[in-house]
Amino acid sequence: MKIIPTNPVVYEYQSGHQTRLSTIKQTMSYIAGSGPRGVTARELGRLLWPHDTSGKSRAGSPLTKLNKEGKIIALMEQREGHHVYVLAEWVENREVWHGYRHRGHCETCTCNESRE
Q: What is the pLDDT of residue 72?
A: 93
How many other C-beta atoms are found inside a 10 Å radius of the C-beta of residue 86? Answer: 23
Taking the domain 2-115, which CATH number applies?
1.10.10.10
pTM more than 0.75: no
C-alpha distances out from residue 63 to 19, 35, 72, 113, 114, Å = 11, 16, 8, 24, 25
What is residue 14's predicted lDDT score, i.e. its pLDDT?
A: 55
Residues 6+ positions from 80 with CB-CB distance below 8 Å: 40, 42
pLDDT tens digits along 17-43: 556 777 888 889 999 999 999 999 989
Distance CA 11, CA 63 (A): 13
CB 72 within 8 A of CB 44: no
Per DSSP, the three-state class of 84 is: strand
Domain boundaries, the chain: 2-115
